[in-house]
Structure 1
Amino acid sequence: MITGTSGLGHAPPAGPPQEAPPAPACIVAVHAADRVTADGASAWLQASPGITPTDASQWRDADVSLFIASEVTDVLLHAMRGRIGCGEDVAQPIVLVAHSITDRQLLTAVDYGLVSFLIRDTVGLREIADALIEAKSGKSQLPGPMIRHLISEMRARRQSMDDISGRTGLQAREIQVLRMLAEGLDTNEIASRLNYSDRTIKGIIHDVVKRLGLRNRIQAVAYGLRTGAL
């Protein structure tokens, strides 16, 4: 019979619990119409926990882009559009702070990556910082009326696309590709916009050309224009 303690000995006393490593900072590219606003926002964000601001020119290294403006202009929307179509699979999340935005501008900005819109007259820097961190994690902040408008518009777009597909014989994805061809984008740019491979885009174009008895992609675009699909 064996008595006493086993030969394994006693386990060493447990040490203090290990703290989880801090989450990586949210890198934010700050865009503003004037240097004073940009520098001021960057300085405040630098002191905000979990955020590292960077210059607008370094946006490719950022997690989120912050746009601060008095009004939304075509120039600003064009700058937002520059966040996509440059080899990225998806648009970079954008947080916009401005006094107001029209329904048309809102829809365009959402297409370019807008996830949160904050009204400049009523928002503080703390709320902006929270929106930036949430944007990195995939969350969105939009006023209720804007969300309702977006839902209504998306439903209308879907119905319109269904009507066009039935009339022209083109599928929704084919219409998207032909519209981008009509805008002058090449297959690589279209693949980047739609998050498809270049081979998939070429296959879509080939299927349209073959199914409709056309000669090439130029005729496919012409068909789309003639039938009202584009």
Structure 2
Amino acid sequence: MIRVLVCDDQVLLRTGLVTIIDAQPDLEVVGECGDGRTAVDLAGKVNPDVVVMDVRMPVLDGIEATRLLAGAGVPNPVKVLVVTNFNLDEAVYQALRAGASGFLLKDTPTAQLLQGIRTVATGAALLDPEVTRQLVGKYATRIRPADGEPQDIPLTSRELEILRLIALGLSNQEIAETLTISRETVKTFVSRILAKLGLRDRVQAVVYGYRHGMLD
């Protein structure tokens, strides 16, 4: 069973999410709340595998809650899937930088949302492809390095090519079809990229790529 904590300040929406998630044979809602502070406190008590997190909430917003649950230096990070109404929003960018493992819009089809929870639970990252393209495009200049900052690009040309496709929001299968290689080969390359860069997931890889001038 995948243990899920749902955090959203809209009661009706939160209730709907809890009902949908709890109806799945492999998913179990172990807690729900309406603000980030309670989410952080509850996570320490119920030990969720995934926190489904809204962004804009009272007391403590989803960004800071994500940072406390999954940010750099957290001893036992929790996987966070951000689900929000906001598409190209500063808060979404900040949530991903804070350590979120994935991001989906609230109007995402139910089946895709449920699969997103399962995907994040496995340790993989998840980004809505269209949102990824727009989000990265909007904030790329902000996260690029300052002029004159030394660049160290330890990736091969093939690894860079795959990183660029990841930045476009392509799945492993779509990358495999684009490059005419097997899905397993893509998975191997992705794992190698993360290992070389010392990163946790695809989200961090995309941010890292732009910050270090690897992506245009």
1:136 aligns with 2:121: yes
1:118 to 104, 109, 113: 104
Superposed CA deviations along residues 20-71 of structure 1, whole A, max 9, x for unmatched, are xxxxx111111010344333322221111211112144323011110246x5
SS state at 1:77 partner: helix
* Residue ranges of structure 1 left out of the alignment (5+ in a row): 1-24, 167-193, 196-230
- After the TM superposition, list the runs of 4 or more consecutive aligned residues in structure 1 that deviate by more than 6 angstroms: none
Task: Identify the match of residue 17 of structure 2 among 13, 22, 41.
Answer: 41
Amino acid at match of 1:79: A
Larger Rg: 1 or 2? Answer: 1
Cα 1:153/1:53, change in 2 over 3 Å: same
C-alpha distance in 2 between matches for 1:144 and 1:31: 24
Q: Alignment RMSD, CA only?
A: 3.5
Alignment partners' CA distance in 2, 1:28 and 1:100 = 22
Paired position in structure 1 for 2:28: 52
Distance in structure 2 (CA, Å) of the matches to 1:147 and 1:105 = 16
In 2, Cα distance between the equivalents of 1:156 and 1:32?
Answer: 29
Partners of 1:44 and 1:127 lie apart in 2 by 12
1:98 Cα deviation from its structure 2 partner: 1.8
| CA 1:27–1:44: 2 relative to 1, 3 Å | same
Shift of 1:100: 1.4
What is the CA–CA distance in structure 2 between the aligned matches of 1:64 and 1:45, rounded to whole Å?
12
CA distance in 1, matches of 2:74, 2:86: 29
Task: Please show how residues 1-230 of structure 1 align to structure 2 within 5 Å.
Answer: 25-55=1-31, 56=39, 57-60=41-44, 61-68=47-54, 75-84=61-70, 88-89=74-75, 91-120=77-106, 122-137=107-122, 138-147=124-133, 149-150=135-136, 153=139, 157-160=143-146, 163-164=148-149
Count of residue correspondences: 142
Structure-1-length-normalised TM-score: 0.49
TM-score of the superposition, structure 2-length normalised?
A: 0.51
1:163 and 1:152 mapped to 2: Cα distance?
22
Q: What CA distance in whole angstroms lies between the structure 1 residues aligned with 2:127 and 2:5?
A: 18
Which structure 2 segments of 5+ residues have no match?
32-38, 152-197, 200-216
The residue that corresponds to 1:202 in the other structure is: none
Counterpart of 2:84, as a letter, is A
> Which has the larger displacement, 129-138 or 100-109?
100-109
Task: Report if the CA contact (8 A) 2:71-2:99 is conserved.
Answer: no
